């Protein structure tokens, strides 16, 4: 008698099938619990919220077999130590901005944003299909991490200033809180960049320890209250044309994950990326109006300031490329994609956007 017929005849068919299937399912969906430390306070429900969205998506896709517990900055390690904690295995993941760590190597800047880099669409196009993911993770593996894009702030604002900034000369001696590598661009023009975590920016502005501060855009800036102590709100944030938010994963932990969990985590990060981008597009227009109603004074950087900053940025990038092969490799990859993309954008996207923006005023 054949084995299948024997099992059926003895009434053991269902039990045997279960006995075979259950271990297979258990092996493909093991119970895993990770911790993810973020660089953000919980009050920033867009940035911190992106980490939560990622975590929930992973849990739901695995029937809670793969759980990622999210911790705000300071709960496990300070916000600006998320990468180190992930690299050394203190936690399995970090939700942060790569450019915070440019002091280790300026190549870290590209994972989030560089001065006069791509906008959000082009940045993500470069990462997903333009070779960005490959060149970035080839660099990140030196630090025992791999990275998934898990958010985007879209184009940011130029920050809050206690006094007006009308000329390039006004940048000299200006103590400006600015995240990451663009501070080096401004330093070449005489500014004094400061890297300060989100929760410490307001008191620093209030006390006059710093003269200005940039963060993200209207929604987050409103929540942090900067308009109360620095009324001049400048745009655009040329240092963050479309900043990618990063989910760093300890490389050993990533490699040990089942392939199905790697796929689920990758898709969850992409979903968090879309969610955060959409959330900023929803909230920033509303909160810009709130800020103006609360007395914020909207100002554009002058063309002279923009050109001076652009020249400073390109000179700095060229100098670093000559002595840092990792930087050069990533810079050339991103710049080629960006230049090609903007040549297309000026044909359709920019003209359409300008036309629609004009008519949106009623």
Q: Give 186-200 pLDDT, tens digit per residue.
A: 999 999 999 888 788
Do 182 and 108 meet the contact criterion of CB atoms below 8 Å apart?
A: no
Pairing status of strand 297-300 against strand 232-235: parallel
Buried/exposed code over 308-332 (b: 16+ C-beta within 10 A; e: otherwise): bbeebbeebbeebbeeeebbbbbbe
If DSSP codes are grouped into helix, strand and coil, which group holds residue 66?
strand
pTM for the complete prediction? Answer: 0.89
Q: Given this model, what pLDDT does residue 27 score?
A: 59
- Is 132 strand, coil or helix? helix
| Predicted confidence (pLDDT) per residue in 304-319, tens digit | 999 999 999 999 999 9
Per-residue pLDDT tens over the stretch 305-359: 999 999 999 999 999 999 999 999 999 999 999 999 999 999 999 999 999 999 9
| Structural contact between residues 162 and 279, judged by C-beta atoms closer than 8 angstroms | no
**What would the mean pLDDT of 96-101 be, rounded to a whole number?**
95
The pLDDT value recorded for residue 197 is: 80
Between CA 207 and CA 186 the distance in angstroms is: 22
Query: Tokens standing for 6?
Result: 């024997």
pLDDT value at position 151? 98
* Alpha helix positions (H), 29-130: 47-61, 82-87, 120-129
Q: Which class would CATH give 23-155+242-282?
A: alpha beta
Residue 22 has pLDDT above 70, yes or no: no
Q: Where are the domains of the chain?
A: 23-155+242-282
Determine the Cα angle at 207 with ends 206 and 209, to 5°.
110
How far is 47 from 153, CA to CA, in rounded Å?
8
What is the reported pLDDT for 10? Answer: 40
């Amino acid at each position: 008698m054949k084995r299948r017929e024997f099992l059926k005849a003895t009434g053991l068919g269902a039990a045997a099938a279960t006995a075979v299937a259950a271990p297979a399912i258990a092996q493909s969906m093991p119970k895993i619990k990770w911790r993810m430390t973020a660089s953000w306070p919980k009050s920033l429900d867009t940035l911190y919220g992106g980490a939560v969205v990622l975590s929930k998506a992973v849990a739901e896709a695995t029937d809670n077999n793969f759980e990622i517990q999210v911790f705000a900055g300071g709960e496990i390690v300070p916000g600006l130590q998320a990468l180190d904690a992930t690299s050394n295995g203190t936690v399995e993941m970090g939700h942060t901005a790569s450019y915070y760590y440019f002091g280790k190597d300026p190549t870290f800047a590209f994972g989030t944003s560089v001065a006069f880099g791509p906008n959000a669409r082009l940045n993500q196009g470069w990462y997903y299909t333009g070779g960005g993911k490959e060149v970035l993770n080839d660099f990140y593996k030196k630090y025992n991490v791999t990275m998934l894009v898990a958010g985007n702030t879209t184009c940011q604002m130029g920050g809050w200033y206690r006094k007006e900034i009308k000329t390039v000369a006004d940048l000299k001696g200006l103590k400006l809180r600015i995240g990451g590598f663009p501070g080096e661009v401004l330093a070449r023009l005489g500014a004094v960049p400061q890297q300060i975590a989100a929760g410490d920016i307001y008191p620093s502005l209030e006390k006059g320890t710093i003269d200005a501060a940039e963060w993200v855009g209207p929604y987050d800036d409103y929540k942090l209250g900067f308009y109360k102590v620095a009324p001049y709100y400048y745009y655009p944030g040329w240092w963050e044309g479309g900043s990618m938010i990063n989910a760093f994963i300890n490389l050993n932990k990533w490699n040990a994950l089942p392939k199905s969990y790697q796929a689920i985590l990758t898709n969850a990060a992409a979903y968090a990326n879309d969610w955060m981008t959409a959330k900023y597009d929803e909230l920033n227009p509303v909160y810009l109006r709130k800020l103006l109603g609360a007395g914020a004074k909207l100002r554009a950087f002058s063309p002279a300031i923009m050109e001076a900053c652009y020249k400073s940025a390109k000179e700095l990038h060229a100098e670093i490329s000559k002595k840092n092969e990792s930087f050069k490799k990533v810079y050339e990859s991103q710049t080629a994609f960006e230049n090609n993309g903007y040549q297309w954008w000026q044909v359709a996207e920019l003209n359409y956007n300008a036309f629609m923006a004009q008519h949106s005023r009623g």
